[in-house]
Amino acid sequence: MVDINDFRNGMAMLAGAVNIITTDGPQGLAGFTATAVCSVTDQPPTLLVCMNRASWAHPIFSGNGVLCVNVLGAERQDVSGIFADRSITMEERFARIGWKALATGSPLLDDAVVNFDCRIVQTHDVGSHSVFYCEVEGVRQGASQAGLVYFNRGYHGVGETAELDS
């Protein structure tokens, strides 16, 4: 068995796009920061999102059955911090950003690089997490051409005009 610290240190060297995953519906409004997001297939357009089942927001996402993957631009590192901070209420998180509802009802962050409006079509539990398989119902491209990745336990901008806040 691999040592958990060795695994975590190794995974810190795997760059991941920084995303805000949002939902709204009968179970309420919620959002969290995630890097465990990737494409699955383009026929039908499907991506996956991993979420810890111990999260208080897990039943909200599962119950709503919809979500939006909001890919952050290099200039929006602050939004990642807001949605990762457990001391900030959901209402306050959403009050601090510009957003609107999409076709599924999930919140679209106004200044994301790209937004994927999705329906959760399957869920698999693996270890401590659920893997949500999400069919994409809509895509909106933003204006930013620079992405935000998390690598070696820090934020980094990638792409054209990638600058990070100090």
In a domain, 143, yes or no: yes
Range of the domain at 109: 4-156
Quote the mean pLDDT of the chain: 94
The number of folded domains in the chain is: 1
Assess if residue 113 is contained within a domain.
yes
pLDDT at 145: 80
SS (H, E, C) 24-84: CCCCCCEEEEECCEEEEEECCEEEEEEEECCCCCHHHHHHHCEEEEEECEHHHHHHHHHHH
Residue type, position 81, single letter: G
- Provide the CATH number for the domain around residue 136: 2.30.110.10
What does the pLDDT read at residue 144? 80
pLDDT at residue 76 is higher than 90:
yes
Residue 163 lies in a domain: no
Instruction: Give the pLDDT confidence of 100-143 residue by residue, as tens digits.
Output: 998 999 999 999 999 999 999 999 999 999 999 999 999 999 98
Q: Is residue 18 part of a domain?
A: yes
Structural domain includes residue 162: no
- pLDDT score recorded for residue 159: 87
| Residue 145 resides in a domain | yes
pTM: 0.93
Q: Among 149, 108, 134, 110, which Cα is nearest to 40's? A: 134
For 45-64, how does the pLDDT look when each residue is reduced to its tens digit (9 = 90+)? Answer: 999 999 999 999 999 999 99
Q: How many alpha carbons lie under 13 Å from residue 142 in its C-beta half-sphere? A: 22
Task: pLDDT band for 38, please (50, 70, 90 cuts).
Answer: very high
Asked if the structure places residue 43 within a domain, the reply is yes
For residue 163, the model assigns a pLDDT of 60
Report whether pLDDT(162) > 70.
no
For tokens 């869920």, name the residue.
123
Q: Is residue 161 part of a domain?
A: no
Q: What is the tens place of the pLDDT at every residue in 88-112?
A: 999 999 999 999 998 999 999 999 9
